[in-house]
Amino acid sequence: MNNLYQLKPEITKEKILDSLNQEDIYEHYGLKVVLGQLVRSPFRSDEYPTCSFKWIGDMLFFRDWAEERPITCFHVVMHHYNCSFQNALEYIYRDMIEGKEGAKERFLSTDNKQKPKRKSKQDKSLIQVEVGSWQKEPVRYLKSYHLTSEQIDKFNIFPINKVWVQGKLNWQYSPYDPAIGYYFGKDERGNQKWKIYFYTRKQYRFIGNTNRINGWIQIPKSGETLIITKSLKDVACFDIFGVPAIAMQNETTIPYDYIIDELNSRFNRLISFYDFDRTGVINANKLKKLYNIPYIFLTNGKLGSKDYGAKDFSDYLKLKGKNDAKQFLEQFLAKL
**Three-state DSSP string of 22-86:** HHHHHHHCCCCCCECCCECCCCCCCCCCCEEEEEECCEEEEEECCCCCCECHHHHHHHHHCCCHH
What is the b/e burial string over 212-243, where b = at least 16 CB atoms within 10 angstroms of the residue's CB? Answer: bbbbeebbeeeeeebbbbbbbbbbbbbbbeeb
Q: Is the full-model pTM beyond 0.75?
A: no
Give the model's pLDDT for residue 46. 63
pLDDT tens, residue by residue, 100-157: 777 777 777 765 434 444 444 444 468 999 999 999 999 999 999 999 999 999 999 9
Q: Could you tell me if 47 and 155 lie in one domain?
A: no
The pLDDT of residue 66 is: 64
The stretches in the chain having pLDDT less than 50 are 1-7, 112-124
Report the alpha-carbon distance of residue 197 to residue 126 in Å, rounded: 17
> How far is it, in rounded angstroms, from Cα 208 to Cα 181?
10
Residue 200 and residue 140 share a domain? yes
b/e map 186-198, b = 16+ CB within 10 Å: eeeeebbbbbbbb
Give the number of residues written for the chain.
336
Select from 106, 121, 136 the last residue of a domain: 121
Angle at 222 (CA atoms; ends 216, 226), nearest 5 degrees = 60
Strands 223-229 vs 295-296: parallel, antiparallel or unpaired: unpaired
Q: Say whether both 194 and 251 belong to one domain.
A: no
Beta bridge mates, 56: 59
* H-helix segments, the chain: 13-19, 22-28, 73-81, 85-92, 101-109, 121-124, 136-144, 149-154, 232-240, 257-266, 278-291, 313-320, 322-335
The last residue of a domain, from among 121, 141, 166 = 121
Contacts of 136 (CB under 8 A, 6+ apart): 175
Instruction: Indicate the DSSP class of residue 302.
Output: G
What are the beta bridge partners of residue 60? 55
Q: Are residues 284 and 321 in the same domain?
A: yes
Quick check: bond before 138 cis, omega within 30? Answer: no
- One domain, residues 9 and 76: yes
61 plus 129 within the same structural domain: no
Q: Are residues 34 and 89 in the same domain?
A: yes
Torsion from C-alpha of 130, 135, 137, 139, nearest 10 degrees: 100
Which residue range(s) make up the domain with 22?
A: 2-121
Point out the domain boundary residue: 73, 94, 121.
121
* 3-state SS class at 7: coil
Contact 267, 226 (CB under 8 A): yes
Question: Do both 254 and 293 map to the same domain?
Answer: yes
